[in-house]
Amino acid sequence: MKRTMTSKERVLTAFARQEPDRVPINYEANPGIDRRLKEHFGLKPDDGEGLRSALGVDFRGVGASYRGARLHPERPERRVDPLWGWVTRYVEHGSGSYWDFCDFPLKDAGAETIAKWPMPSPDDYDYSAIAAACGKHGAYAVHVGNPGLACIMNTAGFLRGMEQVFLDLALDEPAGLLLIDRMLAVQLEVTRRELEAAKEGVDFIWIGEDLGTQRGPLISMEMFQKHIKPRHKPFFDLAKAYGKPVMIHTCGSSSWTYDEYLGMGLTAADTLQPEAKDMAPGYLKRRFGGRLAFHGCISTAGPVAFGSVQETSAVCRTTLETMMPGGGYCFAPTHALQDNSPTENVLAMYETAHKYGRY
């Protein structure tokens, strides 16, 4: 039996495509199932750290806190992001509720309007607590960023609407491209300052870009190489300058881009929706297993949400058996666990990972 590793050692071993003592485990969830899990473990509603400890999660995130003024005013019956200005409305559904993007305030905006659109300054973030947070989580794999960092199409779509974003990319629309570049410039500099403040306390950078539907790519390879890849390269260059691996969140059928990202220095791919084209665990392991680490693969649209405890355990075990050999796999849900996931299924998911995820 292998010696027991720290979470940090476990994740970095997996990122190096070697076998740790057990598969690293991660967690992300919508508010409804998150609340129910905390109730199950007898935790307070705000005890996220306690829940991660109870589930055996090996990852922790750190980042700077915004301390500047509100840049965009509130509106009745809407939620307006104070930094970036995107708008959401409250929508109820059969198993809970969510805030859905709407109104799209920059949909018809020209370059002059977008150039003046208020955005946060990197100077208005507080980086002073990052080193202490890294120290607090020193036994874990610590990251800066998240699936929204460096995301181009989705994030621009919050303000422009997705149809307009695709038109912007297809037609080289100056206004849309200016919006993307302004947002990325802020994110890049904030990330740089976070890494500088963290010193050696951060283990990797997490970025994201939704690149596929369930059936195939969202955009052409030509468009990817023209507009997406060069805008992501500075984030890879930043990670390289600080000696940090990069993990990228890629929704839907996205493996068509992995060779391109590997050429920029990608270490791990996240999400890995198994239902999508060319995203099945077996395909990914055969095609990229010698070059890429994986994080995800446990579908939030499969048995975890709609099956029994037994079906949930079975699909998790099968995924482990496929992805574990030779190392390089981190067990995690695709996206965040949804509110329609029964509590007992989510518990079975993590119990299976701990029971069958050992080498």
CATH code, domain with 305: 3.20.20.210
Q: Alpha carbon of 55 to those of 14, 131, 145: distances in Å? A: 19, 25, 22
Residue 48 placed within a domain:
yes
Residue 14 placed within a domain:
yes
Tens digit of each residue's pLDDT (9 = 90 or more) over 207-240: 999 999 999 999 999 999 999 999 999 999 999 9
Q: Alpha carbon of 82 to those of 30, 72, 86, 200: distances in Å? A: 21, 5, 8, 31
**Single-letter code of the amino acid located at 178:** L
Instruction: Assign 212 to helix, strand or coil.
Output: strand
Residue 97 placed within a domain:
no
pLDDT at 95: 84
The span from the CA of 246 to the CA of 205, in Å, is 5
The span from the CA of 299 to the CA of 301, in Å, is 5
Chain centroid to CA 56: 19
Are the C-beta atoms of 143 and 205 separated by less than 8 Å? yes
Q: Alpha carbon of 242 to those of 195, 228, 256: distances in Å? A: 7, 22, 28
Residue 11 placed within a domain:
yes
Instruction: Assign 147 to helix, strand or coil.
Output: coil
**Single-letter code of the amino acid located at 221:** M
pLDDT at 274: 97
Positions in the chain short of pLDDT 50: none
Residue 77 placed within a domain:
no
Token pair belonging to 330: 């981190």
Angle at 341 between CA 98 and CA 325, to 5 degrees: 120
Residue 109 placed within a domain:
no
pLDDT at 1: 67
Instruction: Say if pTM beats, i.e. exceeds, 0.95.
Output: yes
Residue 107 placed within a domain:
no
Domain containing residue 214: 7-65+121-152+169-356
Residue 100 placed within a domain:
no
pLDDT at 97: 86
Give the chain's domain count: 1
User: Which H or E run includes 296?
Assistant: strand 293-298
